Chains A and B, each alone.
Chain A
Amino acid sequence: MATEEMEQLVQREYKQGFVTDIESDTVPPGLDESVIAFISHKKGEPQWMLDWRLEAFHQWQTMKAPSWAHLDYPPIDYQAISYYSAPKKPEDGPQSLDEVDPKLLETYEKLGIPLHEQAALAGVAVDAVFDSVSVTTTFKETLAEAGVIFCSISEAIRDYPELVQAYLGSVVPRGDNFFAALNSAVFTDGSFVYVPEGVECPMELSTYFRINAANTGQFERTLIVCDKRAQVSYLEGCTAPQRDENQLHAAVVELVALEDAYIKYSTVQNWYPGDEDGKGGIYNFVTKRGDCRGDRSKICWTQVETGSAITWKYPSCMLRGNDSVGEFYSVAVTNGRQQADTGTKMIHIGKNTRSTIVSKGIAAGRSNQSYRGLVKMTPRATGSRNFTQCDSLLIGDQCGAHTFPYQEIGNSKSTVEHEATTSKIGDDQLFYCQSRGISEEDAVNMIVNGFCKDVFQELPMEFAVEAEALLGVTLEGSVG
């Protein structure tokens, strides 16, 4: 009886939401079926997608936010968040660089970002600055020629439903974890990439190309599928600091690599970290997982994490194919009152699988940083190998650096190695540089960059250069 009533109620709300809110551009704070129906309708999605979202929502309702991470933040009121707002119109943003926060511009300057890009990043109506259409068209043509699909996830749901249905949620299931379930219910944006069999994507794909096509969403969903023998390199984010009024970010990224495919996924994350007291920064809860589904496939995660007040992120690899390879290279820098709990999972399932983890953490100011990782060798994964190195560098006596590596090894034909160190920049190192006329700040930058070298050399060229500059900016004021 009670369930019937409940169902009626659900139906009713659902209808109301469906009808009444349809014309508005934002939904009021709160999350229920009607909001999800609204989002789905707004995106012009088919019924199966809506059902999928609702199923995720029901799972989410039964879940609790994880509390195991080494993070300290007030509980989030999920009913106080608005889950949909239409993309900003150009006239709402600042009209020229003069209207942009000078502090932000100063940072752009230090990073050496060209003027027109600065404008784009600061949210200035881009069309006024440079002709983005032409850039977009050129790359779209090149990709189309190669047969690569690169579009927003919403377009993909409309235009390539069979691909999306086949792969969406196949790596990160709807109920995988609290934030993934939330994302599955309410995601509004993200990218979709499909590289057909035997195709090497002719250019590096970047979300940057789509930056003015749609606002970077709060709940992004990215799905990249690389068919047999295909290759792609994908860049996410950019080095410039991004401001966003949405405090909570819960993205999901799924990668699927079929036989002999290679996906390289590089991230530079530099969301607003909050002010000196840690007020107002972004909470970034991300589920990223790659599935090396085919034999000899390879997935490589590279990340440079410098932003966000809270980072909760563990890009992982499921090494299912025999001889598949997973790699994780990470530099995480925290300053001020930032907190980061990040790492990776390498699940070895196929035979002769290999994984490498290199994690470099730099904690400064009053920040706290943790590496949390899992290396699992299943009994089947014979002949497999893992090497893990996590190093932490502490700058200042008020920060913290922590390492929580889990290793679960279930066969005797595999080798797993883990090493971790924690130290500070040596006084002798600084002295050496300073005695050669290098200022203290430059010396610290140099040493820190050297510390991160193993990771930076995995980044695509232009990213690497920017990342080095970014480190300097992030650590500014933490020395001396």
Chain B
Amino acid sequence: MSTETFLQHLQERVEQGAPEWLTSRRQSAAESFARQGFPSPRQEAWKYTDVSRIAESRFTLASDAALSEARLAALRLQVDDAHRLVFVDGLFSAEHSDIGELPAGVVVEPLSQALMQGREVLGSQLGRLTGEDFSPFAALNTAFAHEGVLLHLGRNAVLEKPVYAIFVSRTGESAVMSHPRLLIRAEQGSEASLIEHHIGEHEAANFTNVVGEASLDANARVRHYKLQEASQSEYHVSSMHIDQQRDSLYASYNLNLGGALVRNDLISELNDENATTEFWGLFFGQERQHIDNHTQVNHNAPRTYSNESYKGILGGRARGVFNGRVYIKRDAQQVRGYQNNANLLLSDRAEIDTKPELEIYADDVLCSHGATTGQLDENAIFALRARGISQEMARGLLTLAFATEVMEQIPLAEITERVERTVAGKLPDRFNLMGVVEDSDA
């Protein structure tokens, strides 16, 4: 069976002197994965996403993290003022990382090191939010849990600079799989932002399977930027689990530009009053890319708030999937939950399957969701062309404008420029472009 092919490399990982609690957690996760098997499109949550391509592939584990400085420099964002961690095919590269100085009460460490240090937070955090059976992929990640990022913010600790975690996928002789784990523990009143950047060499055809768990205590604020720019042959599966206490804020900016087959799950649990979740997303698919975003916001307490906006842009024969669920528990009154998914189809062979769901068991709530799918406005293109802008540039401009609502939420210019370049790639120099826009405004 294919599940065995995936688990056969497990021994290589276990021998590395892991604590006993981790060994037993890995063990039961491996069993859970074997029991569940890979999901089939007959399951509602995987209705539009067929992962048999992953199941039928063979992946090994990377044995080294070698990567030239030049190679990395070409791939990574020029965010220099950050606590930088670099992972190559799932392995930590101390050589390229630069965590730098940290304020008191803050731990930023690769998971392998934190395990070696015997950090207590790991035992209480790892697997707390995923449970064993969230999905076979999450179970597989736990079975291999070994490397990733630990971000521990002590009481009232504020991290000024972002944590920048780079996951590089190399082109290699054989395809490899990696199972990065992100653990975020934000104690009361703490604040930080994390940039999770997945990038691949051009031909890389690896399998990256991320699981993240974030626990936010009262009044903690975490901003999580995910920029997924894997190669067009890469498989990328991830699930992010968030647990929020009173007055906390978790904002996710989920930008997916790469990958052959991409599946993201985001699950937020709003467990106490005045906790807020923001989910911002953009997915851009070309050629035969398949990008699937599943989000869930669970309002488990009264007066909790959520706001979600996902924009999909699909060209070529790309297929996008969006499934957003807002759940309001019985007696969770005075909740506000908004959700919106807008999609732009740039080609007749592109497809979008969207399902915004509401499941509501309390009456004094304000909830709405909207979903739209359409194309570029021919009149708007005409208006631009009448001002001497080429067809291609006009389309690029309007496509960018469509993404603006999400992009303007992101204060990091490095990221927005990257996205703009990909989405409106064939446009001339950005500054020229800006010039054109300003002129036509005036």
Contact = CB atoms under 8 A, between A and B. Distances in A.
A214 B82 CA distance: 80
Contact of B345 (A396, A401, A411, A422): A411
B368 A404 contact: no
Interface residues of A, number: 35
Interface stretch (B63-71, B165-173, B350-358): B350-358
Contacts of B358: 392, 401-403, 420, 422
B357 A404 contact: yes
Interface in B315-371: 330-331, 333, 343, 345-371
A130 B364 CA distance: 50
Interface stretch (B18-26, B33-41, B372-380): B372-380
A408 interface: yes
Contacts, number: 115
A402 B325 CA distance: 10
A142 interface: no
A138 interface: no
B contact face: mostly helix, strand, loop, or mixed? strand
A413 B348 contact: yes
Contacts of B12: none
A407 B357 contact: no
B359 A402 contact: yes
A413 B367 contact: no
A419 B371 CA distance: 6
A423 B365 contact: yes
Interface in A266-291: none
B369 A407 contact: no
B348 A382 contact: yes
Most buried by B among A399, A412, A418: A412
A402 B348 contact: no
Contacts of B355: 404-407
B438 interface: no
A180 to B, nearest CB: 20
A402 B357 contact: yes
A379 interface: yes
Contacts of B351: 408-410
Contacts of A409: 343, 345, 351-354, 373
B429 interface: no
A417 interface: yes
A419 B374 CA distance: 14
Contacts of A408: 351-353
A418 B375 contact: no
Contacts of A134: none
A424 B44 contact: no
A409 B354 CA distance: 8
Nearest to B371: A418
Given A397-B363, A405-B356, A407-B353, A419 B375 contact: no
A397 B353 contact: no
26 contacts: A392-B358, A397-B330, A397-B364, A401-B358, A402-B357, A402-B359, A403-B359, A404-B355, A406-B354, A407-B352, A407-B371, A409-B354, A412-B345, A413-B348, A417-B370, A417-B374, A418-B356, A418-B370, A419-B371, A421-B367, A421-B368, A422-B365, A423-B365, A423-B367, A424-B363, A424-B364
Interface of A: 68, 379, 382, 392, 394-424
Given A412-B350, A418-B370, 17 more contacts: A395-B363, A397-B330, A397-B362, A399-B361, A402-B358, A403-B369, A404-B355, A405-B356, A406-B355, A407-B373, A409-B353, A412-B375, A414-B373, A416-B373, A417-B373, A420-B368, A422-B367
Which 10 residue pairs of A and B lie closest in terms of their CB atoms, listed nearest first? A412-B345, A394-B363, A418-B371, A422-B367, A403-B358, A421-B368, A416-B373, A419-B370, A424-B363, A400-B361
